[in-house]
Chain A
Amino acid sequence: MTALLDVRGLRVSLGRGRARTEILHGADLTVAPGEIVGLIGETGSGKTTLARAVLGLVPPSAGTVAIDGREVSGLRGRELRAFRRGGAVQYVFQDPLRSLDPDRTVADTLVEGLAVRGGRGRAELRAAAEEAARHVSLPPDLLPRYPGELSGGQRQRVAIGRAIAVDPRLLICDEPVSALDASTRITILELLLRLRETRGLGVLLITHDLGSLGGVADRVVVLYHGQVVETGTTEEILLAPRHPYTRLLVTSVPSITDDQPPDPAARRALREQVRALADLPRTSGA
């Protein structure tokens, strides 16, 4: 089976001139249709840069990004726009308030992708907006409202609705629930699970919180200092982590069932080990 998303040896450098530094040192990653893959890493690990490179927002310096078997990292200008209008890959931002235009109604926002493609009349777009709202369980009376009038969960629904209105194959979500309250988180995660069921949507779920992936992700990819240090099923990663950083992550996640908090001394030792790893020069000769 061809992977929906196949990232190989992806390297990305950001900045200009002397300030230019390599953020990603050769990352590999796949997402199959209907699969939810958690991409986990701390601030500065390069997880957002990886997403931006997949979306063509930053050019990679090496490596390939294939979507549905088609190499897309080389696309520029008109070709890139045409590919994007196809809508195969969509992105959901962390903060739904900032990712929605405050001056455009929910209806306008939901069908923006279709409007960009063109060829649809007012009535058609209106119907499409209603359908998109239904898919993300937004009450239709919210359509004429503006983002400022919605709750956090409703805004994130609008953002997801906008993304899936163009019928994407792959959805990249950057911390989709970390700005939301606990009860809202559940409904958004349930929504993602449902979309995966009903549409065979592949999802790349980027998060710094390993704890939030438990019931959602099929596989987890751990990114540390610009390198993928471990990949495995969610169960493997959470129950039998191999890499020291993954082990540290897993023991650091607060839990509500652990009667004994993890042993601080063991965690401290692990921390030293991870710190030593971070200070090592890149093994892959960057």
Chain B
Amino acid sequence: MSASPDFATAVRPSAGDGAGREPLLSVRGLRVSVADGTEVVHGVDLGVPRGSAAGLVGESGSGKTLTCRAVLGLLPAGVQVTGGQIAFDGAELTALPDAERARLRGTGIAAVFQDPASYLNPSITVGEQLAEVLRVKVGLGRRAARERAVELLHAMGLRRPEHVYTQYPFELSGGMLQRVLLAMAISADPELLIADEATTALDVTVQAEVLELLSELRRDRGLTLIVVSHDLAVVAQTCDTVHVFRDGAVVESGPTRRVLRAPRHPYTRQLIDAHERFGIDRVREQRRSPR
């Protein structure tokens, strides 16, 4: 089931920000099925121009995470791509052998997820784990990897990076761990970074810091971003384009401003309503509109 023709083409040049050039990632008609043959992603189209930030919004089970996993080549056991194309930087990914996909992860496409602690070994210091990524993926020597790791930790806004290097995961807060994971993700200079609910488990103030960091990375390193969130506001604040997922299909996509101001699909309308009625925006709106 493809979305209605109106919204089917996700690739729309968005205003400014150097976006709108040839797409770095282009997903066409992606279909994903689980082991018993049930299709859970029904022909998703997604175009992400180089240097832009795309936001994927939807509830759990809407297919946004599976789409990202398919792009990463990291679908759970039994789940597989049953149709469509995924082109990254001009190369078709679905046909690549597993070894090639694995090489691409980190150097081409990287990702951070919701629960950073579960991606780290609890009994090895975070610095050593970061240095190991640098040695394996970038091929740095022991000493160079250590120096680069400290630099990266510093670049992620962690204070006293030399000290953080020697700390174990349990000694760091969720926000700090997510910064460590981000350091790992960008250590091999990928072009595309997928942040899948990366700030969901964090406190609001920490979430704001991590979102700022993501925007900085995009600006300073020319990273292309895909931000996946159930929270429309998180996506609205960081992304040029929004793609609204529901029941395994993209129901609406377009430039963030257009989608927020003139939503075309009732579901998008509902998401915006939730914010306008129960969010901080309600109070802010009241201030703006004369009583």
Contact = CB atoms under 8 A, between A and B. Distances in A.
Given A181-B59, A182-B232, A183-B270, A253 B280 contact: yes
A248 interface: yes
B203 A254 contact: no
A211 B233 contact: yes
A214 interface: yes
Contacts of A214: 277-283
A90 B145 CA distance: 55
A235 B285 CA distance: 11
A21 interface: no
A208 B203 contact: yes
Contact of B283 (A181, A212, A234): A234
A238 interface: yes
B125 interface: no
A257 B278 contact: no
Contacts of A212: 278-279
Given A182-B232, A239-B283, A257-B285, A210 B278 contact: no
A182 B274 CA distance: 7
A182 B230 contact: yes
B234 interface: yes
Contacts of A210: 204, 280
A216 interface: yes
Nearest to B285: A257
A235 B232 contact: no
A185 B278 contact: yes
B97 to A, nearest CB: 37
B204 A208 contact: yes
Given A209-B204, A210-B204, A251-B208, A216 B283 contact: no
**For chain B, what secondary structure do more than half of its interface residues adopt (helix, strand, loop), or is it mixed?**
helix
Nearest to B57: A182
Interface string A254-286: 111111010010010001001000000000000
Contacts of B230: 181-182
Interface in B224-260: 230-234, 236-237, 257, 260
Interface residues of A, number: 38
B204 A252 contact: yes
A195 to B, nearest CB: 16
Contacts, number: 115
A24 B280 CA distance: 27
A271 B206 CA distance: 10
A228 B165 CA distance: 35
B271 interface: yes
A249 B207 CA distance: 11
Contact of A271 (B60, B203, B209, B286): B209
A278 to B, nearest CB: 11
A255 B230 CA distance: 14
A238 B237 contact: no
Contacts of B212: 264, 267
A261 B282 CA distance: 17
A186 interface: yes
17 contacts: A42-B204, A182-B230, A183-B59, A186-B277, A210-B204, A212-B278, A250-B280, A251-B208, A252-B207, A254-B237, A255-B236, A255-B279, A256-B232, A256-B276, A258-B284, A267-B212, A274-B205
Interface of B: 59-60, 174, 203-209, 211-212, 230-234, 236-237, 257, 260, 270-287
Interface of A: 42-43, 181-183, 185-186, 189, 208-216, 234-235, 238-239, 248-259, 261, 264, 267, 271, 274
